[in-house]
Chains A and B, each alone.
Chain A
Amino acid sequence: MRTITIIILISFFSISTLSAQMERKRADPDGPVEETFLTKNIAGLGTVQLLGKGDLNSMIQHNFGDIRGGIDTFFGIDEGANVRIAFGYGLTDNLNIGIGRTSREDNIDFSLDYRVLHQTKLDKIPVSVVFKGDLGIRTQKESFSLTFQERLNYLGSVMIARKFSDNFSFQVSPMVAHFNTVVKREANSELYNTLLGLGFAGRIKINERKSISFEYLPVIGDRISDTKNHAALVYELETGGHVFQMFLMSGRWFTEQHLLAKTETNFFEPNFRFGFNVNRIFGLL
């Protein structure tokens, strides 16, 4: 009798299980971590955050003279802006291409980002890794005395980033920059065509739409005379299609090879300039 009761109980349990709600399970609990950073750039430093397939990012980057000009230059604003207008496009979720033009030296640059690793939620892959290449060419009239080859500049970078929590991401990016031509500004200047750098970047999320980010790009080893390490402190605001970035930065440029070779102000002195980026992302697919 007891056996029958047990069997009936088990059977009822099986039947009632079928009628009960299924356990809700996430489809891909170890899926890729999203939004390590808000955009492809912080102020001037690239990030592992790539555009999704079919996304077009139009970006306008500006900065002004250094704040030491005081009220006479309205803290650098009157000194004129360095502007880079750039477009990036996601060929795939892991491969982005881009083109940009910087008003300084009329430098036109072409970039390529390729993600080889994407951090996953359960840490099967603990970091995201993106290779970045950038090729620039000076196109201002003054450089026409140089050959095409002599006007080229290059960057190669490996960006390694981890989103430690919903609110904190950190990136390290060793990089190498090369200029086919470097020009002496003073007789005793030390010049190097090739420079090494180690970029650091971080993002502290305030809420879904706002964050504070920073970047620091020290030159490692030989550096061009009188140059300083670039740094920036950034307030980021996302409004849906736009990402606005307002910052204080020491470097004058928005391409990393130039930040390594041409930064002349020391952020921690303190001496920096005001700048802002406007990113507008369109979905083309």
Chain B
Amino acid sequence: MKRTVLSAFFVLFTSSFCLAQSFKTEEGKATFYSKVPLHSFEGNSENLTGLINLDDGTIDFYIDLETLDTGNGKRDKDMKLTLETKKYPFAEFFGKLVSDFDPESFSIQDVTVRGTFKIHGEEQEIEVNGTMQMREDGLFITAGWILRLLDYNIEPPKILFIKVDQEQEIKIEALLKPVDG
């Protein structure tokens, strides 16, 4: 019986340690920049959801594409039609941290993650560089990469309200809070 109790404590301790190494947000910020001559714009969402588990280096992020706002109703509609958000509502990344990160340090550290990015029903293996910083209030991350529309079979209709660059710059920024046990 004594051994059972001890084991239970051991397991619970292990579990809570793992939980403390997980960080989550549902309010991260994602921005894309579209640059074409005479017509540049950006779209934002503050509904980026992310979970980082430092224990095994798992990185999991997704965003509801219908929350992207370019500041113009007509442009938003065209964007949603182009991304077919009714059929493919999410853009998502699932991968692993492949560089070292010291959670004991409060300094900003460059990190690299590798994994699968999925949008418009198409998947690509990508590597993304960014920064991670352990803070007293959580884990702050930034990252950016270039998304090529054709890689994901995203083809804007020929006659469109907006001119669309083939290469879209994506930036994300989020403060992930420790996941409570």
Contacts and interface: CB of A to CB of B under 8 A. Distances in A.
A240 B78 contact: yes
Interface stretch (B48-56, B102-110, B127-135, B139-147): B48-56
Contacts, number: 94
B2 interface: no
A126 interface: no
Nearest to A1: B4
Interface residues of B, number: 42
Interface in A12-27: 14-15, 18-19, 21-22, 24-27
A54 B71 contact: yes
A285 B8 contact: no
Contacts of A52: 72-74, 76
Contacts of B78: 240
A27 B64 CA distance: 6
A202 B11 CA distance: 63
A7 B7 contact: yes
B159 A93 contact: no
B166 interface: no
Interface of B: 3-4, 7-8, 11-12, 14-15, 18-19, 22, 47, 49, 51, 53, 55-56, 58, 60, 62, 64, 66-67, 71-78, 81, 89-90, 92, 94, 157, 159-162, 179
9 contacts: A4-B8, A14-B19, A19-B58, A24-B62, A31-B66, A52-B73, A55-B74, A241-B74, A283-B161
Interface of A: 3-4, 7-8, 11, 14-15, 18-19, 21-22, 24-28, 31, 34-35, 51-55, 90, 93, 208, 239-241, 281, 283, 285
